[in-house]
Amino acid sequence: MEHLFDQDWEIVPAGGATGEAFFAQYQEQKLFLKRNSSPFLAVLSAEGIVPKLVWTKRMENGDVITAQHWLNGRELNPEEMKNERVARLLKKIHSSRPLSTMLERLGQEPFQPEHMLTEVETGLEFDLLSLPIVRQALLFLQKELEEVRQDEYVVCHGDVNHNNWLLSDHNQLYLIDWDGAMIADPAFDVGMLLYWYIPEEEWPAWLNQYGVDLTDNLRLRMKWYVVAQTILSIQWHKGKGRFHEMNHWIEYLHKVV
């Protein structure tokens, strides 16, 4: 990475699971670099959803390096997820034709609920399946599968955790970390956000800001995806040996099902 710049630039790893991200700084110039990010990033930048893409360079070894403005800012706190700007930006993402066109060009197929159910069923280990609450949740997913099928598929972020919302020092709001982007039911994102951050009595008002009504079908679809995501979280943390987090999500599953 260093040979992209002259020796005056300071380049340090930015952390993250892939080890492909870096911060670069020279005097007042600051860039966020990523190796082999998806072409999807350029569309996200053009739509104003992530910080501006400055340049893209292809290396001799075939790697593609992208550079974005490195913005001073902070993550949203959980209380701020109620903000109308969050609802508006998520609706903009879900309504964006350029985003969906690019994912389709990259070969993304709609993530149907049966795909998620298969992922849940094939990933569950026997000792988790022996838990009554997990069996109850799995029965719910199987029973309601036909009811959650629908025709509206949009670009979903897949992890709308408050840590992925960046508010810059210039009061610009971004949704970052798009490695899990998919074409899916908008209830995949909306359900996670409402269940985690918005009191249920405030759901109609938040959804009004987003631009839809809280119907019985939307309520069911949100619950279905949250239950499925919770089971996957339980299995993932168990696989990593993170038993405290695993037990947290098991307790959460009791509240949701």
In a domain, 99, yes or no: no
Nearest to 154 by CA among 111, 197, 217: 111
Q: Could you tell me the residue range of the domain that residue 46 belongs to?
A: 2-70
Question: What was the pLDDT predicted at 16?
Answer: 56
Pair 49, 172 in one domain: no
In a domain, 103, yes or no: no
Residue 67 near residue 32 (C-beta atoms within 8 A) = yes
3-state secondary structure the chain: CHHHCCCCCEEEECCCCCCCEEEEEECCEEEEEEECCCCHHHHHHHCCCCCCEEEEEECCCCCEEEEEECCCEEECCHHHHHCHHHHHHHHHHHHCHHHHHHHHHCCCCCCCHHHHHHHHHHHCCHHHHCCHHHHHHHHHHHHCHHHHCCCCCEEECCCCCHHHEEEECCCCEEECCCCCCEEECCHHHHHHHHHHHCCHHHHHHHHHHHCCCCCHHHHHHHHHHHHHHHHHHHHHHHHCCCHHHHHHHHHHHHHHC
Pair 114, 24 in one domain: no
Last residue of a domain, one of 51, 70, 89: 70
Question: What was the pLDDT predicted at 28?
Answer: 73
Pair 113, 233 in one domain: yes
Band (65; pLDDT cuts 50, 70, 90): confident
Pair 61, 154 in one domain: no
Please give the C-alpha separations between residue 252 and each of 65, 140, 216, 245, in angstroms, as whole numbers. 40, 16, 22, 11
Question: What was the pLDDT predicted at 47?
Answer: 96
Band (95; pLDDT cuts 50, 70, 90): very high
In a domain, 78, yes or no: no
Instruction: Compute CA 136 distance to the chain's CA centroid, rounded to the nearest angstrom.
Output: 26
Pair 115, 215 in one domain: yes
In a domain, 75, yes or no: no
Pair 63, 126 in one domain: no
In a domain, 21, yes or no: yes
Question: What was the pLDDT predicted at 5?
Answer: 55
Pair 171, 45 in one domain: no
Question: What was the pLDDT predicted at 7?
Answer: 61
Residue 201 maps to which CATH number?
Answer: 3.90.1200.10
Band (26; pLDDT cuts 50, 70, 90): confident
In a domain, 135, yes or no: yes
Q: Greatest CA separation found in the chain?
A: 61
- The residue from 6, 8, 151, 159 that is catalytic is 159
Question: What was the pLDDT predicted at 4?
Answer: 56
In a domain, 89, yes or no: no
For 116, the 3-state DSSP assignment is helix
Q: Which of 36-40, 94-98, 110-114, 134-138 has the lowest mean pLDDT?
A: 36-40
In a domain, 86, yes or no: no
Average of per-residue pLDDT values in the chain: 91
Q: At what angle do helices 132-143 and 243-256 cross, to 10 degrees?
A: 50
Residue 66 maps to which CATH number?
Answer: 3.30.200.20
Q: Provide mean pLDDT across the span 212-236.
A: 97
Indicate if 177 belongs to the active site.
no
Question: What was the pLDDT predicted at 136?
Answer: 97
Pair 39, 139 in one domain: no
Band (62; pLDDT cuts 50, 70, 90): confident
Q: What is the pLDDT of residues 182-214, one digit of tens each?
A: 999 999 999 999 999 999 999 999 999 999 999
Q: Which of 54-58, 97-101, 125-129, 222-226 has the lowest mean pLDDT?
A: 54-58
pTM for the predicted model, two decimal places = 0.87
Question: What was the pLDDT predicted at 56?
Answer: 83
Question: What was the pLDDT predicted at 179?
Answer: 85
Question: What was the pLDDT predicted at 19?
Answer: 56
Domain count for the chain: 2
